[in-house]
Structure 1
Amino acid sequence: MSRTLVIGDIHGAYIALQQILERATVTTSDTLIFLGDYVDGWSQSAEVIDFLMEIKQQYNSIFMRGNHDDLLLDWMKTGEYNEQWFNHGGKLTTEKYSSVIGDRREAHVAFLENLQDYHHDNDNKLFLHAGFTNQNGIKGEYFTRMFYWDRTLWETALALDESLEKNHPQYPKRFTHYSEIFIGHTPVTRIGETKPVNKASIWNVDTGAAFKGPLTVIDADTKEYWQSDPVYKLYPNEDGRN
């Protein structure tokens, strides 16, 4: 039986990525949807990208664009960086990428260039890294960078009065267009959780792998999930983004 498996923010945690795919017993009949932020945090960002390129050849797989992925791509193409990115994982990534040269580097650039802003499936499920701001949904979004930078979708879900019905005039219109929305970007460790969190129609699968949490893969239909060990324990000599 085929499954749709959604993978949260990896942030250079190659060992954790291998763990969750093994623990979920992933097969070639499964569809793998990666929510972005493959890099920045732990020391194996380049190995993660190598591995994802292998997965792309072997599995039915879909890759979202995360803000950290976009920042890395910009640096690889221009050599320029912003201080905020550099201080939130970018510095370690640029150091590790000094050895990624030639054809391997070109392949990484091509992979990052071809990431998707979102995936909207036949069951009206939406998958993207961060969110969107337009009340009419993804097709009406004027600022496409919001697909991998927005936090207001998740913040609104957290603040929502759970007693409101979908037809209530105060119910956020953004939540009504899709049966479910799967995101990462804002770690649920900020609200004291380390497992996927559902608020309204939003499922947040960023379980804090860049910090003290595990990496997570969740079945989009059954909501069964599998997690790695807390990632910091897999990289005991590193700080991640802590």
Structure 2
Amino acid sequence: MNFWVFAPNGKDAAASVSGVPIGSRLYVVGDVHGRLDLLYEIEKAIEQDLRTAPSSVLTIFLGDYVDRGFQSAGVLEKLSSRQFCTDFVALRGNHEQYLLDFLSDASLLQWWRKCGGLETLHSYGLDIRKAARGEACEAARSELMERIPAKHLDFLSTTLFSFVLGEYFFCHAGVRPGVPLERQAPNDLLTIRDDFLQFSGSFGRIVVHGHSPILKPDVKLNRINIDTCAHASGVLTALVLEADSRRFLSTGHAKPPFRMPAD
């Protein structure tokens, strides 16, 4: 795999870049969505990049580890075992919330199965034929509870809704304009789109997020989106923040056409 690195171009990217603490480097990884293969590839890219590393290095995962791709169980096994080349912080995405909610309420499979949940059930070895038709929801919930390791559940339950470092605010989906960052509602942090994406004012910090799939990283004055639709495009992106610089690592180049998910 040939990894590529680029610096953002254009008016938005050239505008004032706010930094992270001196001596620190952050790798911020976008939505994995069940692509264990790409998670290994972005880890390899980070390992190569660490040949010239400062004293403090941290990776931030923006959530959506599960659904759509076919290796969700493998992704959770790797992350819940803390098997990564750097220390990391794991944020929660809306798809982790879907999984947790389903484990409490089997009827939610009617929604989750349309958002990639069937692929997650299959990754744990479930026969999904009835679930695909919206049948035997309680049986699917019970079987998943039997099959999912406790450490996967512990990992999911301890994911964070947001994280702050330097001039950056990290979350899965975005924030509600006009609401202080420390008072954001969890549902907005997990699911917001249009109200956040269309807002051009300041949020108080630069918001780094995923959730809204794009073909390449989108750098605005007030936010940076790095959800490059990994499960469909084969492109998993990591934003690299160090002092006052920004750059990106990726597992490859997108090869459209492919279908962008609605959720």
TM-score (normalizing by structure 1): 0.77
User: What amino acid does structure 1 have at the position aligned with 2:189?
Assistant: F
Corresponding position: 1:155 with 2:161: no
Instruction: Specify the SS of the correspondent of 1:200.
Output: coil
Partner of 2:76: 49
Residue 82 to residue 136, structure 1, CA distance change in 2 (3 Å): same
Alpha carbons of 1:155 and 1:101: their partners in 2 closer, same or farther (altered >3 Å)? closer
Residue aligning to 2:178: 135
In 2, Cα distance between the equivalents of 1:15 and 1:232? 17
Query: Mapping of 1:11-22 within 5 angstroms?
Result: 11-22=33-44
Preserved contact between residue 78 and residue 84 of structure 2 (Cα < 8 Å)? no
Corresponding residue SS for 1:4: strand
2:252 maps to 229
Name the amino acid aligned to 2:31: D
Structure 2 residue 83 is matched with structure 1 residue 62: no
Residues 68-112 of structure 1: per-residue CA shift (max 9 Å, x gap): 011012223443424332112111111222467768521111111
Match among 228, 232, 255 for residue 207 of structure 1 = 228
Do residues 114 (structure 1) and 122 (structure 2) align? no
List gaps (5 residues or longer) in structure 1.
161-171, 189-193, 234-238
Given the alignment, which residue of 158, 169, 185 partners 2:211? 185
- SS at 1:5 equivalent: strand
Structure number with bigger Rg = 2
Matched with 1:217 is: 238
1:150 and 1:176, CA in 2 relative to 1: closer, same or farther beyond 3 A? closer
SS in 2 for 1:3: strand
* Secondary structure, counterpart of 2:120 in structure 1: helix
Distance 2:115 2:74 in 1: 19
Note the 1:33-48 alignment, pairs <5 A: 33-48=60-75
> Is 2:77 the partner of 1:72?
no
Q: Residue 7 of structure 1: CA displacement?
A: 0.1
The amino acid of 2:46's aligned partner reads A
Aligned-pair RMSD on alpha carbons?
2.9
Alignment partners' CA distance in 2, 1:228 and 1:66: 21
Name which of 97, 101, 118 aligns with 1:91. Answer: 118
User: Secondary structure in 1 aligned to 2:92?
Assistant: coil
Partner of 1:124: 167
- Alpha-carbon distance change, 232 to 155 in structure 1, aligned in 2, over 3 angstroms: same
CA distance in 2, matches of 1:79, 1:230: 38
Distance 2:261 2:35 in 1: 12
TM-score, structure 2 normalization:
0.71
**Residue identity matched to 1:108:** H
Matched, 1:10 2:32: yes
Deviation, 1:201, is 1.6
What residue is the counterpart of 2:149 in the other structure? 105
The answer to whether the 8 A contact 2:31-2:211 is kept is yes
Counterparts of 1:209 and 1:201 in 2: how far apart (Å)?
24
Partner of 2:11: none
Once residues 34 and 202 of structure 1 are traced to their aligned partners in structure 2, the CA distance between those partners, rounded to angstroms, is 16
Aligned length: 214
